[in-house]
Structure 1
Amino acid sequence: MSDRNDLIINFLQRHGWGQAERKPLADDASFRRYERLTRAGEKAILMDAPPEFEDVRPFVAIARHLQKYGLAAPEIYAEDIENGFLLLADMGDALFAAVIAADLAQEKPLYGLALEGLIHLHKIPLPDNVPPYDEALLLTELALFVDWYMPSLDGKILSAANRDDFLKLWQNILPLVTGGPVCLTLRDYHAENLMLRDGQTGLARLGLLDFQDAVIGHSAYDLVSLLQDARRDVSPALEQDMLDRYIGETEQNQQDFRRIYAILGAQRNAKIIGIFTRLYLRDGKASYLDKIPRVWALLERDLMHPALAPIKQWIDRHIPPETRAGSFTPKPFMPQKAMILAAGLGQRMRPLSAACPKPLITVAGKAFLSYSLDGLCAAGVRDVVVNIHYLADQMTEYTRSYYDHRLTITLSDERAALMDSGGGVKKALPLLGEGAFLLLNSDMIWRDGSRPMLHRMQAAWRSDDMDILMLLIPRDGAFGFDGAGDYHRAADGRLRARGADSNADYIYGGIMMMTNKSFDHTPNGPFSLRMQFDRAEKKGRLYGIIHDGDWYHVGTPDARDALEGIFTTCRGD
């Protein structure tokens, strides 16, 4: 039963809701999906969280913790952790945002109720096994601003120096917010995630909906989330009124708390601008773009605090004020096409490849091919060509039913004749279009280092100087490789093949950028990409960028088993 709707029907039938009427509810910015179920006058909510993208266990754990300490999270009627389904109590439709839109007089009392909820939340014991909102996580979120929003302004990835400057400025500021008292922080505590519960009194009127990303952080963060809302305007007067009330009732130091509030406000709003840009470029969701000017206005207010003067100066140097105020359509900054070489016979992987194409062999429960597809999509590359030959029907079925709807996967069929690496790419050129494209082997897995690896490659690509830009792996740190190395690298990144030398410092990591011009004057039948490598080297147009993250070559069953052990240990199984 591979179809997800069949899995849903099975789940609902097991728990007595198989005959219920199902009505979709509004999507959110994640991969989760919700349906309202109705049967004989009863109602419930189905949460559908595909396990490839979401883990429902944090939601379950935090919901029960909140309920234990007197806060109204949805009751969980049934759960299927493995498949990502929850059956929840229906808390109604009275979202704070909707109630206020219908009657503005409700705004101040509802925000007061939300504030009471925060004050209560910040007094309860901390749950176990919840990650800290530490400097590393705060910086990872801030990187979304420079990795997604900044490049989308002009279609060019920010230089490593400018990116590092931005994050180093934040590193100097964030210790002000990470060293004090902490509390459970829900992270998305705002008017579209808070529910007014009918028929309840006191704090029981407040329903909490979205908390699966909870962390242990500073109490000011959720206050920022509530009062600097990306989705609706909260007047400065109401914001200050609620802020004064919180500071007074929790006996905070006025000056210190307002400084931290401004810092976390700037961090959150910069992150949101990056997230909304990524939702458009990576996920195809355009509905969040018109919210960016509001978030920019909030960010500019936060940046007026003296503690954030260095950040304000950096932003003023790099982003003109007129760019921030209006709506915009983000410009793609990554190659729009990629190809994965997946047609080979996988001889060295036998016996595992005797009845399964090598790209579909799994490690840690996931096919080799899926690691590459997911990595491309995560970087914003959504149009992928995959060539097929050996056990092609299995490859066709796998790609046809691939779980990530954001990707467009096109097959280049080599069933009639295996074209080798170079011939395979040349055959697929009509599918790859004009301009630079990414080319990946299907038997390696990478982990990003200091920034997304594919973004680093795009930042390093210079079409005027390069025919090919390779990902290089330091020979001594390459998992699954014990050879003498492939290339020497000059200071400017230019490559020279090892040739007759006894060894070289770097190996080719199975990922490159190139253009269709590299295939001019090449054979029409099978040939190796070695031809393109040698040509580019002779012209001085073969370059390489050194990978700064983990990298694994999986060429044999032994290598696959060793990597299985590494991944399983890291995952904590």
Structure 2
Amino acid sequence: MTAAATVERFLGDEAATARLGEDLAMALAPGDVLALSGDLGAGKSTLARALIRALADDETLDVPSPTFTLVQSYDTSLPVHHFDLYRLGSAAELDELGFDETLATGAALVEWPDRAEGLLPTSTVVVELEHKGEGRLARLSGTGAPFRRISRSLALRAFLEGCGWGLARRRRFVGDASARSYEIVSLPGHPARILMNSPELVLGPPVRDGKPYALIAHTSRTVSAFVGIDHALTAAGVSVPEIHAQDLDQGFLLISHLGSGNFLDAESKPVAERYAAAAELLAMMHGRQWPYHLEAAPGTFHDVPPFDRDAMMIEAELLVDWYVPAISGGPASDALRQGYRRHWDMLISRLDTRDTTLMLRDFHSPNIIWRGERQGHDRLGIIDFQDALVGPPAYDVASLAMDARVTVPPEIETATLEAYIAARHAAGAFDEAAFRESYAIMAAQRNSKILGIFVRLDRRDGKPAYLKHLPRIRDYLRRALSHPALAALRDFYGEHGLLEERTL
């Protein structure tokens, strides 16, 4: 059995105890249990109240003691259930309180945990509070993923302290399909900032030629990629977050908040003018010469990898790895795999002599902030670009015009594409026919990949919400395959039922 690790924090006053509650709230995930121990007046209620209010983002939320009700539940960003077991008749009554059910989707705070008589999960993190001088000592101990997340959250608070933001209020912001997470941190007298938590990428098992998927696909492994690319984009006049503080070893950044202006309209539908403006920004970027050896800190560099044949292929093959088994009930046949790879080999070869540029890779609505009060390209704030590669300009245009998270009707897709092409022509010589072919190839590759990724997020990662996007992605794929250069691939997809509407 792995020995429990322990960390201690001195809490000088009530405010420090409340900040620890916030720090714990930022780390919690479904299934986590915090066991709160300490004498009367040690601060358990203060800690629990701050934690729950942080998850609710409501500093005035009434958080009564569950002494008589035994459990109080809160429908916060992460459902949290506050148990007080002092009046529990026996440990068996935990089942009657629905303890296990609460952990399926939420987290639990447990006061008087000794009354559970060893029925709490082995991953439970124990938080002991005791009086010490004029303040309190908090001792946290545990094993496994919950304790590691909490330790990392405490390290984030220490990082904030090191850059003068130790008293900042922390609130959950957004996460994504990766292990990265983001918080909004606020300090009186200062604009709110974003706290980025980007742990080093875990590569996973080998999938081909002894290499893991992320290595073949050139997924960024450390936050140095974000920093180096941020510097390059800033120098080129692209509006990206300003980096106020960084700890590259731990993967922590404190960056500016570009705002909350939605790139879409009030009903989350695409606005043609905004998509055209983003296309014109891409045209400007694609007309530049970019450095690819980027400094993230003195002596620390990020070399932007190429979007090479292996990366394109392993991404495209996510369709046969995940989507095909989901729609057919079994793994893809060797014949399907070989034919699929043969068709994609031929199409990728057509890109060999085409121009390349800094390709941001996920240039779509979730990663674009609309700032309509500004002028020109500054209206567009760009985030989430750490996985950028050196690749075909058409990829980012396809990412924008066939937005994976929102249905872009054909007329807006066409207008977006035409805005880009017009801007490239205006800037100088531009091979429009070659670009349109590259656009179709990259759109087909990207949407094939996304079909596989969204199924993988459901089947492997327990995130079924992504399945609702599949009909849109299939429609985009049909649009891309309508280009004459992709006729053979279109026939292949049709023969194997890859374009049919399916309910998963």
TM-score normalised by L of structure 2: 0.61
Partner residue, 1:193: 367
Q: Is 1:144 aligned with 2:293?
A: no
| Among candidates 303, 306, 311, match of residue 481 of structure 2 | 303
Matches within 5 A, 1:317-328: 317-319=495-497, 321=499, 324-328=500-504
Q: How much has 1:198 moved relative to structure 2?
A: 6.0
Question: Any conservation in 1 of the 2:359–2:391 contact (CA below 8 Å)?
Answer: yes
1:119 aligns with 2:268: no
Residue 67 of structure 1: aligned partner: 234
The answer to whether the 8 A contact 2:272-2:415 is kept is no
Q: Runs of 5+ in structure 1 lacking a partner?
A: 329-573
- Taking the TM superposition and a 5 Å limit, the aligned residue runs for 1:217-256 are 217-251=391-425, 252-256=430-434
Preserved CA contact (<8 Å) 1:178 1:218: no
Q: Paired residue for 1:290?
A: 468
Tell me which amino acid in the other structure corresponds to 1:249.
Answer: A
Alignment of 1:556-567 (within 5 A): none
Q: What's the counterpart of residue 50 of structure 1? A: 199
5+ residue gaps, structure 2: 1-6, 8-147, 203-220, 293-302
Q: CA offset at residue 169 of structure 1?
A: 1.0
Superposed counterparts of 1:252-263, under 5 Å: 252-263=430-441
Aligned equivalent of 2:243, options 65, 72, 76: 76
The 3-state SS of whatever aligns with 1:47 is: strand
Residues in 1 aligned to 2:394 and 2:469: alpha-carbon distance in whole angstroms: 23
Partner Cα separation in structure 2 for residue 246 and residue 110 of structure 1: 12
Distance in 1 between the 2:497 and 2:400 partners? 27
Q: Distance in 1 between matches of 2:278 and 2:164?
A: 35
Report SS of the residue matched to 1:112.
helix
**Take 1:93 and 1:182, find their aligned partners in 2: how far apart are those partners?**
32
Task: Decide whether the 8 Å contact of 1:183 with 1:219 is kept in 2.
Answer: yes
Deviation at 1:52, TM superposition (A): 4.1
Q: Please give the alpha-carbon distance, in whole angstroms, between the structure 2 residues aligned to 1:103 and 1:50.
A: 31
* Letter in structure 2 aligned against 1:4: R
Alpha-carbon separation, structure 2, partners of 1:297 and 1:222: 18
Distance (Å, rounded) in 2 between the aligned partners of 1:41 and 1:208: 26
Question: Does structure 1 residue 28 correspond to structure 2 residue 176?
Answer: yes
TM-superposition CA deviations, 1:403-431 (whole Å, max 9, x none): xxxxxxxxxxxxxxxxxxxxxxxxxxxxx
Residues 1:277 and 1:103: Cα distance change in structure 2 (over 3 Å): closer
CA RMSD of aligned residues (A): 1.8
2:319 and 2:268 mapped to 1: Cα distance? Answer: 35
Go from structure 1 to structure 2 and tell me whether the alpha carbon gap of 1:52 and 1:213 turns closer, same or farther (over 3 Å shift).
closer
1:41: Cα distance to partner? Answer: 4.2
| Partner residue, 1:553 | none
- Change over 3 Å in CA distance of 1:75–1:308 after alignment to 2: same
Report the equivalent of 1:101. 266
Structure 2 residue 387 is matched with structure 1 residue 213 = yes
1:85 and 2:233 are equivalent in the alignment: no
Deviations 1:275-295 (A, max 9, x none): 111111121111111001100
Task: Tell me if structure 2 keeps the 8 A contact 1:114–1:206.
Answer: yes
Distance 1:304 1:123 in 2: 28
Cα gap change, 1:320 to 1:279, in 2 (>3 Å): closer
Map Cα deviations across residues 144-175 of structure 1 (whole Å, 9 max, x no partner).
11111111223322123321220111101112
Per the alignment, do residues 320 and 218 of structure 1 end up closer, same or farther by CA in structure 2, a change over 3 Å counting?
A: closer
Read off the aligned partner of 1:213 and give its amino acid letter.
Answer: D
Q: Which amino acid aligns with 2:439?
A: Y
1:420-455 residue CA offsets vs partner (Å, 9 max, x unmatched): xxxxxxxxxxxxxxxxxxxxxxxxxxxxxxxxxxxx
Q: In the alignment, what sits opposite 1:349?
A: none
Residue 321 of structure 2 contacts residue 452 of structure 2 at CA under 8 Å; is this kept in 1?
yes
Local SS of the residue matching 2:174: coil
Q: Deviations over 1:203-228 (max 9, x none)?
A: 11211001111011111111101100
1:561 is matched with: none
Report the residue type matching 1:90 in the other structure.
H
After TM superposition, give the deviation of residue 38 of structure 1 in Å: 0.7
Question: What's 1:389 paired with?
Answer: none
Aligned to 2:334: 160
Q: Take 1:101 and 1:255, find their aligned partners in 2: how far apart are those partners?
A: 36
One of 131, 155, 160 as aligned partner of 1:12 = 160
Residue range with higher mean Cα deviation, 16-25 or 151-160:
151-160
Distance 2:250 2:268 in 1: 40
- Helix, strand or coil: the match of 2:277? helix
Q: Which has the higher contact order (CA 8 A, sep 6+)?
A: 2
In the other structure, the counterpart of 1:476 is none
SS at match of 2:465: coil
SS in 2 for 1:260: helix
Whether the 8 Å CA contact 2:268–2:406 is kept in 1: the answer is no
Report the CA distance between 1:64 and its aligned residue.
Answer: 0.4
User: CA, structure 1 residues 8+229, in 2 after alignment: closer, same or farther (shift >3 Å)?
Assistant: same
Give the aligned partner of residue 415 of structure 1: none
**Quick one: distance in 2 between partners of 1:314 and 1:141?**
18
Q: Residue in 1 aligned with 2:457?
A: 279
Aligned-pair CA distance for 1:109: 2.2
Check whether the contact 1:297–1:325 (CA below 8 A) recurs between aligned residues: no
Q: Distance in 1 between matches of 2:407 and 2:240?
A: 25
1:266 aligns with 2:444: yes
Q: Report the 3-state secondary structure (helix = DSSP H, G, I; strand = E; otherwise coil) of the residue aligned with 2:365.
A: coil
Distance 1:198 1:39 in 2: 26
Letter in 1 for 2:385: F
Residue 249 of structure 1 deviates from its aligned partner by 2.5
Q: How does 1:520-531 map to 2 (within 5 A)?
A: none
> What are the residue-to-residue correspondences of 1:368-447 with 2, within 5 Å?
none
For 2:482, the aligned partner's letter is: M
For 1:484, the equivalent position in structure 2 comes to: none
- TM-aligned CA distance change 1:27 to 1:185, over 3 Å: same
Take 1:24 and 1:133, find their aligned partners in 2: how far apart are those partners? 33
Q: CA contact under 8 A between 2:360 and 2:396: conserved in structure 1?
A: yes
Matched, 1:184 2:362: no
Give secondary structure in 1 for the equivalent of 2:193: strand
| TM-superposition CA deviations, 1:55-75 (whole Å, max 9, x none) | 111110000000011111100
What secondary structure does 1:50 align onto?
coil
Q: Pick closer, same or farther for the CA change 1:87–1:198 going to 2, 3 Å.
A: farther
Matches within 5 A, 1:542-561: none
Does structure 1 retain, via aligned residues, the 8 Å contact 2:160–2:166? yes
* Alignment-derived partner of residue 89 in structure 2: none
The AA in structure 2 aligned to 1:101 is A
What is the one-letter code of the residue matched to 2:283? I
The Cα shift of 1:242 comes to 2.2
User: What TM-score, normalized to structure 1?
Assistant: 0.54
Q: Displacement, 1:296?
A: 0.5
SS at match of 2:283: helix
Report SS of the residue matched to 1:195: strand
Shift of 1:177: 2.0
**Structure 1: how far apart are the matches of 2:376 and 2:480?**
33
Aligned residues with identical type, % of pairs: 38
Relative to structure 1, is the Cα distance of residues 161 and 178 closer, same or farther in structure 2, using a 3 angstrom cutoff?
same
2: distance between equivalents of 1:272 and 1:228? 11
Question: Using the alignment, how far apart are the partners of 2:239 and 2:228 within structure 1?
Answer: 14
